[in-house]
């Protein structure tokens, strides 16, 4: 299967609450705004972001 990566794919930042928990509410808001803007896809946990410091549980969190 060939993957077609054409268009805009912004890297989404990882949002945290004041007590350092994942802020899934703010993440979802950001995601919906990106979708409304018409992006073709998103990049999660980019190499220059917070991915390297998230725990395994945080990385596997689903909402």
Cβ atoms of 22 and 50 closer than 8 Å: no
Q: What is the pLDDT of residues 21-40, one digit of tens each?
A: 889 999 999 999 999 999 99
Cβ atoms of 42 and 12 closer than 8 Å: yes
Q: Which two tokens stand for residue 50?
A: 């917070």
Q: How many CA atoms lie within 13 A of 52 on its CB side?
A: 4
Query: What is the mean pLDDT of the segment spanning 31-57?
Result: 83
Q: Which two tokens stand for residue 1?
A: 């299967």
Query: Domain extents for the chain?
Result: 1-63
Cβ atoms of 12 and 30 closer than 8 Å: yes
C-beta atoms surrounding 32 within 10 Å: 10
pTM over cut 0.85? no
């Amino acid at each position: 299967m060939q993957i077609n990566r054409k268009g805009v794919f912004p890297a989404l930042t990882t949002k945290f609450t004041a007590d350092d928990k994942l802020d899934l509410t703010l993440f979802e808001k950001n995601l919906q705004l990106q979708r409304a803007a018409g992006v073709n896809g998103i990049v999660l946990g980019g190499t220059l972001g917070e991915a390297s410091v998230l725990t395994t549980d945080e990385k596997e969190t689903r909402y």
